[in-house]
Homo-oligomer: A and B are copies of this chain.
Amino acid sequence: MPLGLSTDLYQLTMAAGYFEAGKLEERATFELFVRRLPHNRNFVLAAGLAQAVEYLENLRYTKEEIDYLRTLPQFAHTSPAFFDYLAELRFTGDLFAVPEGTPLFPNEPFLTLRAPLVEAQIPETYLLATIGFQSMIATKAARVVKAALGRSVVEFGTRRAHSPEAGVYAGRASYIGGCGGTSNTEAGMRFGVPVFGTAAHSWVMSFSSERQAFEQLQKLLGESTVYLIDSYDTLEGARRAAELGRPLWGVRLDSGNMVTLAPAVRKILDDAGLRETKIMATGDLNEYKIHELVAARAPIDVFGVGTELSTSADAPTLGVVYKMVELEDSGNRRYTAKLSEDKHTLPGSKQIFRYRTHDVLARSSECLNAPETLLRPVMLGGQLIEPLPTADEARNHAAECLSRLPASCQSLFERPEAWRVDLSPELEALYENVRKGIAK
Contact = CB atoms under 8 A, between A and B. Distances in A.
Contacts of A3: 164
Contacts of A126: 164
B185 A9 contact: yes
A30 B205 CA distance: 12
Interface in A288-325: 307-308, 311-313, 316-320, 322-324
A8 interface: yes
Contact of A313 (B20, B199, B256, B316): B316
Contact of A8 (B185, B201, B208, B223): B185
Number of this chain's copies in the complex: 2
Contacts of A136: 162
A234 B163 CA distance: 38
A26 interface: yes
Query: Of residues A3, A134, A136, A224, which shows the largest number of chain B Cβ atoms within 10 Å of its Cβ?
Result: A224
A139 interface: no
Interface in A147-203: 156, 158-170, 183-186, 188-189, 195-203
B133 A161 contact: yes
A5 B189 contact: yes
Contact of A77 (B185, B202, B207, B222): B222
B230 A340 contact: yes
A142 to B, nearest CB: 18
Interface string A1-42: 101011111111110111011010010101000000000000
A1 B317 CA distance: 28
A322 to B, nearest CB: 8
Given A9-B188, A9-B195, A311-B316, A224 B160 contact: no
A334 B327 CA distance: 69
A56 interface: no
Contacts of A338: 201, 205, 231
Nearest to A132: B160
Given A17-B203, A216-B21, A12 B185 contact: yes
Given A5-B189, A129-B164, A163-B165, A20 B221 contact: no
A341 B255 contact: yes
A125 B168 contact: no
Contacts of A307: 317, 319
Contacts of A68: 188-189
B200 A10 contact: yes
A55 B167 CA distance: 15
5 contacts: A9-B197, A13-B199, A73-B224, A78-B220, A126-B164
Q: What are the 9 A-B residue pairs with the smallest beta carbon separation, nearest first? A: A10-B197, A316-B316, A162-B162, A165-B165, A9-B197, A128-B159, A8-B183, A5-B185, A5-B186
